């Protein structure tokens, strides 16, 4: 099944997700599946009945009341969702992507990523969703969960689409980084782009040797690539170099470190996602 | 029905996804918990302090470790009635020890994933359970309504009027709380001659402290508390899992049953060490929580914390609450818990399910033990089911042209309940040279039916007939204990097909 799955919602990212999906579909020759997930907001529309009394037939009455509320909200959400998908469909068509399927799903976004995305090559999502708060610099609450639970590479779209010419590949010598390199070679996502391989280490570090090998692999595969080595904090260096070379896309391995460590100090991946203003391609 | 894996962000969402509404509903529930915790302490025969500490501790702990966000757990009637004899015979310390042990048992149940056993508790049994529970709560109020002053009845009626009529005017304040406040104030002003909570025993005047149950650690002690702990563990889990199902339905979300079992165990285990009695989820309170907009773990947590603060800070006032006000609140809870539609359904539902429901209620009211009631209900459901399935059985036969051979076609379900019909279907008095028994369209489920088939063959042979059995292999495929139809997509098709 050669398709990519793009998740859209009514946030500002939807258009950008469509554009990125169109670009990737073009690069890799995939069909596109557009998915919109209708997540039910818990308790937001619940009636404020604080009387604390339960009378005759309380259970049935309550069940019917809540079900009726949910039904009304769901109907509206469905209508909105279908419109959203139609809009996205038109946008993709305008960009020349013809093979598109749309799906509307209920339930949890992350579950949908696991279920729907299971048989696609790439997943495209926006950095933030409808409910996310821009001012705080917080990521969409679902992003990290989605990336962690997805089995395939996830493409995280930035606010707006820019044509992609320069790609930065962040390389930490770990297995997921090697995989990222292999992926990049295997998929033709880098065709007609310049790649920069970045490692965060000092000269003479054992990592440098590994990075050299990785660079050679890239060049052998016909990718125009150069190597940059720099000491410092991973997320800071990645942010700086991205700005310096004017990269349009960052490719990196996703969540390499243990979850325990991520709990305590936060993960590099999340930090980079937060700092970067460009799309990020996360490879597992 | 379980979530796929634990996720921190989901857990965070369960805590803080609905803070405003959870805080409000938690407050409403806390107000409603105070009278209940006191009333259930009185049922168990201990100081109100014990039930109040238990409600605080269970609610707060289950907020962290439970498997159903938004569910309220505390000291309950279902567990309190079980412990009355233990307290009467051995005292409070044994109750605390039994609480700790019940917690351990529940954790073990959770680890063994026994939550899945809930599938055998049919809808009729559940309805019987909630009706019996409602009746138990109501019956527990009767001592407060017998041999009392006339004023008591007046106050109960007045409180009930406020509870039921106030919501028609406003939904912004908890009507049971208003009822309690109004009746308390009236009683203090006019000095009515009614009993109050202070007369019922000790109230908390400080926060709970760690306290080891003072019982001798001997086998004898274990034998005393084990039956109570087992009953409490089972009843507690039954009520918790049923309430979880109810909230699942109300909110259209999923809960984690095995986590809930283990969580209830942890909560009870810890509660025994701060001088509280065992509890479980509360159907009525959980409904009140959902109705008030509570959905997350935070609502349960708030309910527990606010309850404790209220009783410790306001102990002088809580002491003054007249019993009639409490009785009225408990009557409301019992009325709200009772499934009134089940009475209407008695005439529409199949008789067997009505019998199951009524049996559960009758057994519980007789024994005061919901576990025994549920056991009886589950057994009856099983027997009725077997009885119904046993009807799906028939034997046809035809005689050959020359009248020397007969072919019997056995169809349908052969198992212990249909063996008798199976035996009666053959005519051994008919003198035949050859008998063919075709079981290819029958399912042989157990060794009772294998034995019966062997016996039929034996009898025909004794009458001088040659016996041939056709299709035994397919028919007996069902004897194997694990059908494992689920992992072979076509198995069910083949199994149900004709000629099987």
Cβ atoms of B225 and B360 within 8 Å: the answer is no
Tokens of B126: 């559940």
Q: In CATH terms, are A3-41+76-155 and A162-282 the same topology?
A: yes
In a domain, B365, yes or no: no
Closest residue in B to A56 (Cα–Cα)? B336
In a domain, B421, yes or no: yes
| Per-residue confidence (pLDDT) for residue B105, from 0 to 100 | 96
**Hey, of A48, A49, A50, which one would you mutate to test binding to chain B, going by the most B CBs within 10 A of its CB?**
A50
Same domain (yes/no): B429, B297: no
Cβ atoms of A31 and A99 within 8 Å: the answer is yes
Same domain (yes/no): B292, B439: no
In a domain, B367, yes or no: no
Judged against a pLDDT cut of 80, whether residue A131 lies above it is answered with no
**In chain B, which stretches have pLDDT less than 50?**
1-4, 482-487, 498-500
Nearest CA-CA distance, residue A60 and chain B, Å: 9
What mean pLDDT do residues A253-258 have?
63
Prediction pTM value: 0.80
In a domain, B453, yes or no: yes
Q: Taking the domains of chain A in order of start, what are their residue ranges?
A: 3-41+76-155, 162-282
Same domain (yes/no): B322, B461: no
Closest residue in B to A260 (Cα–Cα)? B8
| Per-residue confidence (pLDDT) for residue B2, from 0 to 100 | 40
Same domain (yes/no): B139, B277: yes
Residues of chain A contacting B175 with CB distance shorter than 8 Å: 51-53
- Classified as helix, coil or strand, B300 is helix
In a domain, B46, yes or no: yes
Quote the CATH superfamily of domain A3-41+76-155: HUPs (3.40.50.620)
Question: Any long-range contacts for B106-109 (C-beta under 8 Å, 24+ apart)?
Answer: B106/B233, B106/B236, B106/B237, B106/B261, B106/B262, B106/B264, B106/B265, B106/B268, B107/B261, B107/B262, B107/B265, B107/B266, B107/B269, B108/B265, B109/B233, B109/B237, B109/B261, B109/B262, B109/B265
Domain boundary among B321, B339, B357: B339
What is the rounded distance in angstroms from the CA atom of residue B6 to the CA atom of residue B53?
30
Q: State how many domains chain B has.
A: 2
How distant, in Å, are the alpha carbons of A22, B65, B158 from that of B25? Answer: 47, 20, 25
Same domain (yes/no): B401, B462: yes
Same domain (yes/no): B81, B208: yes
Written as one string, the DSSP assignment of A121-155 is SEEEEESS-TT--TTTTPPPHHHHHHHHH-SS-EE
Closest residue in B to A107 (Cα–Cα)? B253
Same domain (yes/no): B426, B312: no
Contact A48 B24 (CB under 8 A): yes
What is the rounded distance in angstroms from the CA atom of residue A70 to the CA atom of residue A74?
6
Same domain (yes/no): B300, B427: no
| Per-residue confidence (pLDDT) for residue A245, from 0 to 100 | 87
What is the rounded distance in angstroms from the CA atom of residue B49 to the CA atom of residue B136?
22
Same domain (yes/no): B320, B397: no
Written as one string, the DSSP assignment of B241-262 is HHHHHHHHHHHT----HHHHHH
pLDDT one-digit tens code per residue, B202-261: 888 888 889 899 899 999 999 999 999 999 999 999 999 999 999 999 888 889 999 999
pLDDT one-digit tens code per residue, A4-34: 999 988 887 888 899 999 988 888 888 999 9
Same domain (yes/no): B137, B40: yes
Judged against a pLDDT cut of 70, whether residue A46 lies above it is answered with no
| Per-residue confidence (pLDDT) for residue B37, from 0 to 100 | 92
Confidence of residue A234 (pLDDT cuts 50, 70, 90): confident
- Classified as helix, coil or strand, B371 is helix
| Per-residue confidence (pLDDT) for residue B484, from 0 to 100 | 46
Range of the domain at B439: 392-498
In a domain, B207, yes or no: yes
Nearest CA-CA distance, residue B353 and chain A, Å: 20
Tokens of B288: 């009140």
What CATH number is associated with residue B418?
3.30.750.24
Same domain (yes/no): B186, B40: yes
Fold of A162-282: Rossmann fold (3.40.50)
Same domain (yes/no): B327, B417: no
């Amino acid at each position: 099944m050669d398709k990519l799955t793009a998740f859209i919602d009514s946030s500002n990212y939807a258009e950008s997700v469509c554009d990125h999906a169109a670009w990737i579909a073009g690069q890799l020759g995939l069909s596109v599946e557009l998915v919109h997930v209708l997540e039910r907001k818990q308790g937001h529309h619940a009636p404020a009945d604080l009387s604390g009394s339960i009378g005759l037939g309380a259970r049935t009455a309550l069940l019917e009341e809540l079900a009726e509320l949910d039904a009304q909200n769901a109907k509206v959400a469905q209508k909105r969702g279908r419109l959203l998908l139609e809009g996205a469909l038109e946008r993709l068509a305008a960009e020349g992507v013809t093979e598109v399927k749309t799906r509307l799903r209920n339930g949890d976004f992350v579950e949908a990523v696991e279920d729907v995305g299971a048989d696609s090559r790439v997943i495209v999502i926006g950095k933030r969703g409808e409910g996310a708060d821009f001012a705080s610099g917080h990521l969409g609450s679902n992003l990290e969960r989605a990336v962690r639970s997805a089995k395939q590479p996830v493409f995280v779209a930035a606010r707006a689409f820019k044509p992609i010419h320069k790609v930065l590949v962040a390389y930490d010598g770990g297995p997921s980084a090697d995989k990222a390199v292999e992926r990049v070679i295997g998929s033709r996502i880098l065709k007609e782009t310049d790649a920069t391989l970045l490692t965060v280490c000092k000269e003479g570090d054992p990592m440098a040797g590994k990075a050299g090998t990785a660079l050679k692999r890239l060049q052998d595969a016909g990718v125009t690539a150069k190597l940059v080595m720099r000491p410092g904090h991973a997320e800071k260096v990645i942010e700086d170099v991205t700005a310096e070379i004017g990269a349009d896309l960052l490719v990196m391995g996703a969540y390499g470190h243990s979850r325990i460590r991520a709990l305590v100090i936060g993960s590099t991946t999340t930090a980079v996602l937060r700092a970067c203003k460009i799309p990020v391609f996360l490879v597992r | 029905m379980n979530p796929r894996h634990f996720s921190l962000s989901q857990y965070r969402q369960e805590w803080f996804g609905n803070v405003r509404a959870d805080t409000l509903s938690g407050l409403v529930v806390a107000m409603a918990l105070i009278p209940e915790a006191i009333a259930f302490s009185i049922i168990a025969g201990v100081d109100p302090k014990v039930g109040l500490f238990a409600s605080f501790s269970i609610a707060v702990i289950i907020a962290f470790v439970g498997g159903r966000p938004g569910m309220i757990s505390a000291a309950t009637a279902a567990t309190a009635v079980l412990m009355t004899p233990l307290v009467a015979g051995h005292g409070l310390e044994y109750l605390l020890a039994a609480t700790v042990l019940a917690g351990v048992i529940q954790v073990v149940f959770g680890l063994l994933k026994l939550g899945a056993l809930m599938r055998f508790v049919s809808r009729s049994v559940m309805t019987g359970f909630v009706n019996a529970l409602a009746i138990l709560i109501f019956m527990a109020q009767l001592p407060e309504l017998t041999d009392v002053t006339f004023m008591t009845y007046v106050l109960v009626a007045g409180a009930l009027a406020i509870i039921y009529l106030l919501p028609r005017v406003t939904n912004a304040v908890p009507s049971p709380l208003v009822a309690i406040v109004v009746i308390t104030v009236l009683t203090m002003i006019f000095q009515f001659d009614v009993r109050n909570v202070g007369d019922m025993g000790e109230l908390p005047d400080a926060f709970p402290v760690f306290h080891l149950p003072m019982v001798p650690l001997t086998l004898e002690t274990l034998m005393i508390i084990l039956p109570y702990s087992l009953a409490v563990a089972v009843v507690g889990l039954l009520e918790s899992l049923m309430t979880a199902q109810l909230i699942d339905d109300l909110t259209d979300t999923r809960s984690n049953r095995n986590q809930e079992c283990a969580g209830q165990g942890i909560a009870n285990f810890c509660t025994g060490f701060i001088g509280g009695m065992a509890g479980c989820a509360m159907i009525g309170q959980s409904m009140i929580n959902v109705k008030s907009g509570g959905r997350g773990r935070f609502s349960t947590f708030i309910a527990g914390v606010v309850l404790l603060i209220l009783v410790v800070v306001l102990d002088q006032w809580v002491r003054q609450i007249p019993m009639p006000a409490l009785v009225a609140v408990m009557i409301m809870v019992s009325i709200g818990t009772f499934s009134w539609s089940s009475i209407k359904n008695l005439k529409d539902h199949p008789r067997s399910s009505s019998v199951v429901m009524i049996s559960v209620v009758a057994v519980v009211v007789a024994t005061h033990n919901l576990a025994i009631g549920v056991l009886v209900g589950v057994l009856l459901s099983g027997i009725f089911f077997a009885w119904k399935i046993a009807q799906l059985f028939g034997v046809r036969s035809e005689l050959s042209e020359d009248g020397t051979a007969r072919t019997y076609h056995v169809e349908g379900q052969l198992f212990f309940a249909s063996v008798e019909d199976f035996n009666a279907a053959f005519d051994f008095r008919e003198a035949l040279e050859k008998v063919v028994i075709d079981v290819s369209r029958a399912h042989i489920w157990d060794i009772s039916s294998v034995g019966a088939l062997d016996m039929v063959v034996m009898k025909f042979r004794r009458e001088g007939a040659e016996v041939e059995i056709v299709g035994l292999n397919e028919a007996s495929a069902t004897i194997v204990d694990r059908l494992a139809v689920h992992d072979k997509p076509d198995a069910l098709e083949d199994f149900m097909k004709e000629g099987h």
